[in-house]
Amino acid sequence: MPEKNKDLNCKANNYAAKISIIYAVVSAVWILVSDILTTTLFAKRGLFTIFSVIKGWLFVLITASLLYFLIRKKIYSLYLSENKLQNALEELQKTNAELSKTQEKLVVQYKKLAKNQEKIKELAYFDQLTNLPNRNYFTMVLEKAIKEAHFKGQQLALIYIDIDNFSKINNTLGHETGDIVLKEIAQRLKEAVGNNGFVARLTGDEFGIIIYNFLDFNVLNYFIYKIFNSFSMSWEIMEYDFYITPSMGVAIYPSDGQDSVSLLKNADKALKLAKEKGKNTFCFYNVEMDNILQQRLEFESELRKAIEKDQFVLYYQPIVNLEKMQLCGAEALIRWIHPQKGMIPPMSFIPIAEQTGLISQIGQWVLTKAILDLKSIREVTNHNFYVSFNASLREFSSANFVDNVLYTIEALKADPTSLGIEITESVAMADPQNTIKSLNTFKEKGIKVFLDDFGTGYSSLNYLKQLPIDVVKIDRSFIANMSTDMKEQRIAKSLIDLSHILDLKVVAEGIEDSQQAEILKSFDCDFGQGYLFGKPLPKDQFLELAKRF
């Protein structure tokens, strides 16, 4: 029996014994006293009998009263306890009901919390646009894959992908189209890799792929080319049909890095080299790449110093009227005179200047220098002489490019009609609508517009006739073998005739001998430029050349 029940049983026994003792004592006293009184006071038998009966009933009445008072208090206490217990039970039931409701609410809140935790996890580890894992999740998976590869003695590949010129899609077709393209890219990458790897979106237009345990590089190359093939198909999105190309950098565990940070860093280095090679290709990381990138950083630093210390010189190559054989203009060409390395050609530093954004400062220097030189050049030539300068894609894409050019012309009090701006077809077609708008602004101010390297780009005739240009410059590749190649002559004549149909003047580049000049003249080509008339020269030497015309 439990201790509590033993205690209650003991209390009950004590109370029952108490009542019994009181009852026994009262009864004994009553019998003793009543018998003595009866014997003493009612000796006569007649009265004795009557009094005995009365005494018996009095005993019953007294003992009943005694029991009533003895038991009533305890029963009252029991009823009070029962009432308290009933009230406590009702309160307990009420509390239990409230607890049940609270439990239901807690279950609902728990479910909401679980959903929120899932949502937080999704936001923390997944890209909301493509539903691919994000960079955080990719890094976790990569670290886990590295540990497993180390344990099993396997190798894995990290492929870093960047979409070439993706900004053109956003700028030309809008961010909505760009988002649709990114979703499609994500889907194609997943299909290309399948269960053999892990695909994630690392940043805006950059993706990461882990290729698990590949037996040899033939297998890895298979997946790389499979990824390229997934991009080779045309993209038909929102009634647009276009092509997209990727650049990829590849790093291998364990040879190219034994942790996630090293692999990502080295794959990124390989990606940058792929970009420098012309995009739409891939590069494997190697140790020599560090030396290349180090040289690149040093070259970039020297280029910045060149801007600060004014190490540039502007050269001018003459443009001649073929019919009159008169000097009518010149193309301004920048040269870098390095204090130790000497002359550095533009093709060596212009691409780096574009990639680093230094091209804007260099372009501003060219425009300012050309305007300042123009006054002395026109004094030697004639008042119709003009100077043209080149605008790169990065410059032309800048939101304030047009305003900066016009401000510089106005600040230096230059004649806009004595200046020309040269853009390539690739620059013109990067964002045709904005290009047309910008070129119209230049034309309204009297600035001549040249389309450089005509025939080598990808502009359609429809866009060509819409572009507000004055002059097309036929690329030297159509001129080089003109003297002996009849096909080349026909192509050049077709380009000249097409330009004239569109009311455009024509400059033929790369003329190196008089025979080429005569052929072009017979084709009614308006102007010529090339070594036959003069190489690019610094201002002083160009002035001497101009005097001989």
Residue 45 confidence (pLDDT)? 55
328-374 pLDDT, tens digit each: 999 999 999 999 999 998 888 888 888 778 888 999 999 999 999 99
What's the full length of the chain, in residues? Answer: 549
pLDDT, residue 435, reads: 85
Q: Nearest Cα to 293, choosing from 279, 275, 272?
A: 272
Characterize 248-263 residue by residue with b for buried, 16 or more Cβ atoms within 10 angstroms of its Cβ, and e for exposed: bbbbbbbebbeebebb
Residue written as tokens 């009159």? 324
The confidence score (pLDDT) of residue 9 equals: 67
Give counts: helices (H), strands (E), the chain: 18, 17
Interatomic CA distance for residues 539 and 547, integer angstroms: 12
pLDDT of residue 535: 95
CA 488 – CA 516 distance, rounded (Å) = 11
| 300 vs 46: CA distance, rounded Å | 147
User: Rounded mean pLDDT of the chain?
Assistant: 85
4 or 425: which leads in pLDDT: 425
pLDDT band at 457 (very low <50, low <70, confident <90, very high): low
Reported confidence tier of residue 209, pLDDT bands at 50, 70, 90: very high
The per-residue pLDDT for range 269-287, each reduced to its tens digit, is 999 888 887 788 889 998 7
* Helix, strand or coil, per DSSP, at residue 450: strand
| pLDDT above 70 for 46 | no
The whole-number average pLDDT for the span 526-538 is: 95
Residue 461's pLDDT is 65
Judge whether 240 and 220 are in contact, CB under 8 Å.
Answer: no
Domain range annotation of the chain: 1-107, 135-285, 300-547
Residue 57 scores a pLDDT above 90: no
Closest listed residue to residue 164, CA positions, set 193, 183, 185: 185
Distance CA 221, CA 195 (A): 16
Q: How far apart are the first and last CA of the chain?
A: 131
pLDDT range class, residue 470, cuts 50, 70, 90: very high
Which H or E run includes 249?
strand 246-253
Interval 168-179 mean pLDDT: 81
The CATH class given to the 300-547 domain equals alpha beta
Choices 3.30.70.270, 3.30.70.20, 3.40.50.2300, 3.40.470.10: CATH for 135-285: 3.30.70.270
Task: Find the helix or strand (DSSP H, E) in which 274 lies.
Answer: helix 260-276
Mapped onto helix, strand or coil, the DSSP state of residue 394 is helix
Nearest CA to 282 among 245, 236, 243, 329? Answer: 245
513 versus 19: the higher-pLDDT residue is 513
* Own/partner pairs, 99-107, CB within 8 angstroms, 24+ separation: none
Mean pLDDT of 432-460: 84
Banded pLDDT at 165 (limits 50, 70, 90): confident
3 state SS of 451: strand
Peptide bond into 416 cis (omega under 30): no
